[in-house]
Amino acid sequence: QAKYKERGSVLAEDQLAQMSKQLETFRTHLQAFASKHKQEIRRSPEFRLQFQHMCAAIGVDPLASGKGFWAEVLGVGDFYYELGVQIIEVCLALRHRNGGLITLEELQHQVLKGRGKFAQDVSADDLLRAIRKLKVLGSGFGIIPVGNTVLVQSVPAELSMDHTVVLQLAEKKGFVTVSEIRDSLRWETERAKQVLDHLLKEGMAWLDAQAPAEPQFWLPALFSELHGQD
């Protein structure tokens, strides 16, 4: 029995050594591929996405460090660092209007407008990767899926599942009312008011107290008519 255990241990070590060798070979080929196609990787969002998938398949994160091969040869660290700075600038410029919530689509539009027509193109995937890296700055930046929309949060306001559900309810029209929340979600009136009051306090919602039937709580991040004005 001891011999079988010893053989099993040796076999496992051999398999691990072979896997490590294969992984190192993959990494070497990936580096060669990256060196050959670095211009395409920097220029094309689609090519960049495929490259990111290749890296993920073998456990390589080209954004994990600002130094080393990936930064020196590809400049991907610089690309996402610069993109992160542009994201922060856009979010700060629009925070007075949207309270720190912006759709990923509108963020992409504003970032591309700021970069100019001759700059590298930026995809939604590029934005999401840069935003995830911005989390090291604290709890301010985050991603909130809301139905078919993705919201980017750039303020450290704490949003619970209740807030997210209300945002989902407001997605199509851009606004929501207490009665809509009560009827759609089967909530008590007080619960609905607490959520809406919090969004108002954080500047993420606007109140239309003169609406015909009852007050309407508008979410400027979801209010399509505001997009592209600035």
Note the pLDDT of residue 207.
95
* Residue ranges of the chain assigned to CATH 1.10.10.10: 81-222
Q: Is the confidence at residue 15, as pLDDT, over 80?
A: no
18-54 pLDDT tens trace: 766 766 776 677 667 766 777 777 777 777 777 777 7
Note the pLDDT of residue 184.
95
d(Cα 98, Cα 91) in Å, to the nearest integer?
9
d(Cα 28, Cα 20) in Å, to the nearest integer?
12
> Taking the domain 81-222, which CATH number applies?
1.10.10.10
pTM: 0.68
Which amino acid is it at 204? M
